[in-house]
């Protein structure tokens, strides 16, 4: 894709606005817990980051203000905190599930066969 040089000054601010919108959508997806949504928005964010990175290397492109970049970085960092909390919650839930013996077997009469105890009762 070829970009005309007269559009360059307006392109980077538009990309940063789009990044802000993607970060807001990412937060909504993280809070909703939609795995498909999280994957889709993450792919969009990574592709957009690559586009922004390539745009700032073009000579003559005006760089955004530190304040604008700080706001975006803070929003992204806040999303990372939410993502970390979700990951901790899911990991704890999986750990609880792993401790539960989910395998059940049944006798010919349909009654549940009790597995042998893993530990002898009263053993220290």
Helix (H, G, I), strand (E, B) or coil at 104: coil
**pLDDT at position 89:** 93
Q: Could you tell me if residue 42 is left (phi over 0), alpha (psi between -120 and 50 degrees) or otherwise beta?
A: alpha
Tens digit of each residue's pLDDT (9 = 90 or more) over 22-71: 999 999 999 998 999 999 999 999 999 999 999 888 888 888 899 999 99
Nearest to 26 by CA among 12, 10, 14, 42: 42
Tens digit of each residue's pLDDT (9 = 90 or more) over 71-87: 999 999 999 999 999 99
Helix-strand-coil percent breakdown of the chain, rounded to 5? 70, 5, 30
- Rounded distance between C-alpha atoms, residue 108 and residue 103, angstroms: 17
């Amino acid at each position: 894709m070829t970009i005309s040089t007269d559009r360059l000054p307006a392109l980077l601010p538009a990309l940063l606005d789009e990044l802000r919108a993607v970060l807001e959508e990412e937060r909504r997806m993280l809070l909703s817990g939609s795995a498909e949504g999280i994957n889709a928005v993450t792919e969009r964010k990574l592709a957009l980051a690559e586009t922004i990175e390539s745009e700032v290397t073009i000579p003559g492109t005006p760089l955004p203000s530190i304040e604008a970049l700080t706001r975006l970085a803070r929003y992204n960092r806040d999303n990372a905190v939410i993502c970390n909390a979700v990951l901790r919650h899911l990991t704890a839930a999986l750990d609880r599930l792993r401790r539960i013996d989910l395998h059940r077997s049944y006798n010919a009469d349909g009654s549940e066969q009790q597995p042998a105890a893993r530990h002898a009762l009263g053993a220290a």
